[in-house]
């Protein structure tokens, strides 16, 4: 249950980030989005292992 809530929360954060990103610098934002997704996956994995 907590894992599902965490996944929903990170999904909402990612949606806000992608909706709020400017359309001009696509290469920069796509790279930062990849870093963001990777860091969120690591955080979610650590969080799930600790629970």
**Which tokens go with 25?**
């610098």
Using an 8 Å Cβ cutoff, are 29 and 22 in contact?
yes
Residue with the bigger pLDDT between 20 and 29: it is 29
- Helix, strand or coil for residue 24? coil
Report the C-alpha gap between 3 and 26 in whole angstroms.
31
Q: Name the token pair of 35.
A: 């870093």
pLDDT of 37: 83
SS3 50: helix
- pLDDT grade for 26, boundaries at 50, 70 and 90: low
Tokens of 47: 């969080």
């Amino acid at each position: 249950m907590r894992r599902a809530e965490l996944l929903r929360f990170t999904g909402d954060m990612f949606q806000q980030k992608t909706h709020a990103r400017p359309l001009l610098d696509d290469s920069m934002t796509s790279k930062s989005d990849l870093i963001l997704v990777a860091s969120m996956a690591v955080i979610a994995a650590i969080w799930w292992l600790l629970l």
